[in-house]
Structures are given as structure tokens and as C-alpha cells.
Amino acid sequence: MVRFIRSFSRLLHRTSASATAEGSLGLSVLSLIGPTALVSVLLLTMTAVRGQSLDLARPEQHFSVERPANLSTAESMVIYEKVRDRMVAGYRLSDDPAAESFLKWRRYNVAPYRSATHGQRYVNNYANMIAKSYGRYEKADRLPVGSVLAKDSFAVTQRGDVFTGPLFLMEKMAAGFRPDAHDWRYTMIMPDGSLFGTTNGEGSERVEFCITCHEAAGDKVQQLFFVPKEFRVEFLNLQ
């Protein structure tokens, strides 16, 4: 509960000041990828991340990075490599076991890609071994109970700042848990490890918007959208 209040007040702070509640890693793209970013960093001095006026108790969309950088695949890979461990250190402060282990799971995207549907953040998709048929993408059967899909995220602004973003989780629960959500438990963990919300648990109403969007993927694919085709890892050994 304390964690929840802490994250809530930080979010409130974000909407009143044009700052971000996301944990800044104190890194600049410049220091990570060298002088190529220099020109854009010099030209763009505006505040790049700004909170939006949203109903925080029941958000209808992600808080979005207002001026996201356009990174090449190589740049996004380099940045991710540098910030990954610190991102995970934040997520680990939550009690969620997935936050502890997801980096050891199979990754399904070849490089971080910018997800418009997750607040313009750069994201990666991981799945545990129980969920291994996720790698068959649209041809996957219903994933078994215990499947966990994890999406970590970071934001890069045109000004060159790098911020950690939330960890997004979907866990397949027992039949009947939440029938209209294909029994997925949607969870969002903030960069500092605080819980934003989890289906049928603390802050459940705050992650309803996940379901609202994911149900558009349809019943046939059990509310999964999968990795955009151009970023998919294709496994040759999966039937």
C-alpha cells in the first residue's frame, strides 16, 4: 500500500510539473552513442517528456513520451545494453518474481523497437519457457497457465535523455480468473519497483486500459498482439 501511494504521488507530481516520474538513469544518448547525436541534442532544447492530464485513478492510455527520439536499430541496441542492468535493478524492488528472472528468458524481438501503444517507449518482449509457443506468433495455441510475458521499456527523448520505463507483464492464470481477458493478469510495475496496478489485485482498475486495448487483438490470438513482424526473432526449431 505504501508503495502504491508513493507511486501515485509521484505520478501526481508528474502532471503538475512538466517533469517525468520515470526514473532517469542520468545518462544521455550522447555519452552512449557518441557525437552522432550532438546535432539533435544542440538543436532541441525543449522539455521533451511531459506528463499529460489524465485521470490517474483510471487511466485510459499510457503516459506518453512527447518527443521521442528516432533511433536506428543499432543505437537502440547499444542504449539498451548499457541501461538494462539498471532498469532491472529498479524492477527488482517489486516483489514480482518475473521482475527477477525475465532477463534470463527467451527474447522475441531482435532489437528494441518503439511502441506507440506503450507510450512511445522502446520495448523488448520476453516470455518464460512455459510460454514458449509465443514464438509461433499468430499460430500459437492457447498458452498454458503459468505463461508469463514481460515487456521492459525505456524512453529516449529527442533531447537525448534516457529514462527507464515501466515493466509490463501478462501472466496466464487459472480458468475463471478473468474470462473476458482470457485469464491474463495484466501488471504494470514502475521503474522504481512500485506497483501501478495488477488485474484483480492492488490498483486493478488502473490496468483496465490494458485489457481494453488488448481485447482488440481478438479471441483467436487470446488478446496477444505479438512483436511487429520486422522485429521478430524467427525460431527455426519451433513447430
Window of 1-9, 48-56, 84-92, 202-210 that interacts with ligand HEC by CB under 6 A: 202-210
Q: Cell numbers of 215, please?
A: 481485447
Kindly compute the dihedral angle of the four CA atoms of residues 205, 210, 212, 217, in this order, to the nearest 10 degrees: -160
Do the Cβ atoms of 79 and 87 come closer than 8 Å?
Answer: no
Q: Is 31 in the site for ligand HEC (CB under 6 A)?
A: no
User: Which residue's CB is nearer to ligand HEC, number 33 or number 207?
Assistant: 207
Q: Is 214 in the site for ligand HEC (CB under 6 A)?
A: yes
**DSSP-assigned beta bridge partners for residue 20:** none
With H, G, I as helix, E, B as strand and everything else as coil, classify residue 121: strand
Q: Cell numbers of 184, please?
A: 491474463
Site string for ligand HEC, 47-86 (x = CB under 6 A): ----------------------------------------
| Cα gap 165→65, rounded to integer Å | 10
Read off the amino acid at residue 3: R
Q: Is 226 in the site for ligand HEC (CB under 6 A)?
A: yes
Q: Is 154 in the site for ligand HEC (CB under 6 A)?
A: no
Q: Is 131 in the site for ligand HEC (CB under 6 A)?
A: no
Do the Cβ atoms of 63 and 12 come closer than 8 Å?
Answer: no
Q: Is 190 in the site for ligand HEC (CB under 6 A)?
A: no
Near ligand HEC by CB under 6 A: residue from 99, 102, 207, 222: 207
Site string for ligand HEC, 134-153 (x = CB under 6 A): ---------------x-x--
